[in-house]
Amino acid sequence: MRLTIEGLTAEIESTPIVSGVDLVAEPGEFVGLIGPNGSGKSTLLRTVYRSLRPAAGIVSLNGDDLWRMPARRAALRRAVVTQHGDVTAEFTVREVVAMGRAPHKGLLEREDTADRAVIADALKRVDMLPAADRLFSTLSGGERQRVLVARALAQEAPLLVLDEPTNHLDVRAKLGLLDLIRSLGLTLLAALHDLDHAAAYCDRVVVLKDGRVKAAGPPLEVLTPAFVADVFGVRAHIGEHPITGRPHIAVASLE
């Protein structure tokens, strides 16, 4: 699934928050959306969730305008993990993940064996199967995040869009989640704060600053020390990770 964002402007209360953004995620590519706090990452992603209609520009999936397709067709093509989740009522973990199957079912169609297998597999992948019968509201922040990822996996959409998916997760769960999503072969667009994660996991990064694309390309081409100092206001050392051999960015404050 190819995601194309062209000339996108998104406004909140008539104020442009992101302006003239172009972004492409090719099939199977992991694109990291990075930028300082308030640079417009979540706002841009909201236009892909269909929670904020673009003021100008187009978001398309394999050439079809995302904002013109029926909700169900959109849900079959892209799954999302938002920053604050959207589960308000008292559902069990299993019920939350089962919601991911909704786009695959007819109005009165019931869950079948195949759905149950997909749900169990999604829970297993995020190490939450033992908590399947717990109430979602009783989970810790990190556990909730993993369940919301499982719900997105259960949706089996070829494009996965995530807003800071490693938020709340402990160090092992962070790396486990990034390893997992990268291994799926899906098209991935994720807002990430950790430059080291972006360098190690993304095929390309798109850097937002003040609502505009400041640079885009492979992490090591974009995230030079001078660029990181300019955009993020920190010193960066870019090298090879001593354990994994992947690109590695260590940062320190400018003083």
> Which listed residue (23, 25, 32, 43) binds ligand ATP by CB under 6 A?
43
Touching ligand ATP, residues 93-122 (CB under 6 A): none
217 binds ligand ATP (CB under 6 A): no
Q: What secondary structure does DSSP assign to 65-134, as a single string? A: EGGGS-HHHHHHHEEEE-SS----S--BHHHHHHGGGGGGS-TTPPP-HHHHHHHHHHHHHTT-GGGTTS
Distances from the Cα of 38 to the Cα of 1, 15, 193, 251, angstroms: 28, 14, 12, 20
**Piece in contact with ligand ATP (CB under 6 A), picked from 38-46, 84-92, 99-107, 124-132:** 38-46
> Which listed residue (19, 42, 166, 187) binds ligand ATP by CB under 6 A?
42
**Piece in contact with ligand ATP (CB under 6 A), picked from 40-48, 63-71, 115-123, 152-160:** 40-48
> Which listed residue (4, 19, 39, 82) binds ligand ATP by CB under 6 A?
39
Strand pairing partners for 86?
Answer: none
32 binds ligand ATP (CB under 6 A): no
Q: Locate tokens 């079959």: which residue?
A: 76
Cβ contact 225:238 at 8 Å: yes
37 binds ligand ATP (CB under 6 A): yes
CB of 119 or CB of 249, closer to ligand ATP: 249
Length of the chain: 255
The residue ranges that bind ligand ATP (CB under 6 A) are 12, 17, 35, 37-43
